[in-house]
Amino acid sequence: MIYIFISVILILTGIIIFLYRSKVVRDKQIKYMHEKLDKIISEQTSENLLVFTDDKELIPLLIGINNLLNHNKKILADYTKKEESIRKMISNISHDLKTPLTVIVGYLEMIKSNKVIEKELGKEVHKAYEKAVELLALINTFFDLAKLESGDKELQLEKIHINEVCRKCILEFYEILTNQGLDVSVNIPDEPIYVAGNEEALDRILRNLISNAIKYGSDGQVVGLNLEYDDAFVYIEVWDKGKGIDEMNKENVFERLYTLEDSRNKLYQGSGLGLTITKRLVESLEGDISLTSKAYEKTVFTVKLKKLVSQTN
């Protein structure tokens, strides 16, 4: 009987020692986690918590904390990137507005000081007028982007016959394309296709993309528009066979005021807003836009929209 009692005592003692050591290890690990988190927060480092443990209670806690740290790192990186983008935007806006304003003021000063002879007056006034129109268009473009990014410009989605929108847009550019000696490739199905969209926004999206293809892909001698679909989505492709966009710059072409010298994102007097506005408009239509590019083979901007049933209501 005494042997059983001693065995029980030894087992209980072993359990107590095990639990004590486990508590010491856990306390040590929790202390490390606390101190490490304080350091990560105070020094704003990009580290994660590295704790090797078999503790089933601590493992999910560590995973959760590291996921939170990674999420915060992404938020900080996005914030830093956005700050840099805003700084560039302010700098470029200042430059883009200053240039036409300087020209306008110069013409008006010449007219005011009577340095322009009467027969040349109309010519100088016309030049000032053209620059004023250019300036107004630029200001409206900045204003449009500001409304899109702030969420103030809410687009009403309706059932749109996308075949007709595509045909209308490519026809408006047909004369420009042919006058520049460019071949035009159009692939639009005869079967009516409907999307959830907004005709004004879709018109602007396609105008931007076709203008972009003409301006920066004309060396490929062809500009195309394809309309394709599956059960759930419609895909509008605007493409060319020009010099394309390299891998390093693909992620940047939709950014605000991306003005790399060789970029295609200069639809508005070099302001770098054309493709940014295009992307925001596509997103407002609950769609997506993507880019694939291989120099002198094919550069394709693809707009993906929700497909609606073809039957008319």
Share of the chain above pLDDT 70, in %: 83
How does DSSP classify residue 110? H
Please indicate, yes or no, whether residues 111 and 36 belong to a single structural domain of this protein: no
Asked if the model's pLDDT at residue 311 lies above 60, the reply is: no
Residue numbers of the domain that contains 38: 2-55
Q: Looking at the domain assignment, is residue 74 inside a domain?
A: no
- Give residue 5's pLDDT: 66
Last residue of a domain, one of 150, 177, 193: 150
Contact 162, 193 (CB under 8 A): yes
Residue 191 inside a domain? The answer is yes
Q: Which residue has the tokens 């700084």?
A: 87
As a whole number, the mean pLDDT across the chain is: 80
Residues 146 and 218 placed together within one structural domain of the fold: no
Strand positions, DSSP E, the chain: 158-161, 183-187, 194-197, 222-229, 233-240, 288-294, 298-308
Least confident of 14-28, 51-65, 259-273: 259-273
Same domain, 21 and 140: no
Confidence class for position 133, pLDDT limits 50, 70, 90:
confident
Does residue 96 surpass a pLDDT of 90? no
Flag whether the pTM goes above 0.85.
no
Q: Where among 150, 166, 199 does a domain terminate? A: 150
Q: Are residues 27 and 135 in the same domain?
A: no
* Digit-coded pLDDT (tens) for 193-228: 999 999 989 999 999 999 989 988 888 999 999 999
Q: Which tokens belong to 44? A: 């704003």
Residue 24 located in a structural domain: yes
Rounded Cα gap, residues 259 and 252, in angstroms: 10
The DSSP bridge partners found for residue 240 are: 223, 299
Q: How many domains does the chain have?
A: 3
pLDDT confidence tier of residue 8, bands split at 50, 70 and 90: low
Q: Are 168 and 128 in contact (CB under 8 A)?
A: no
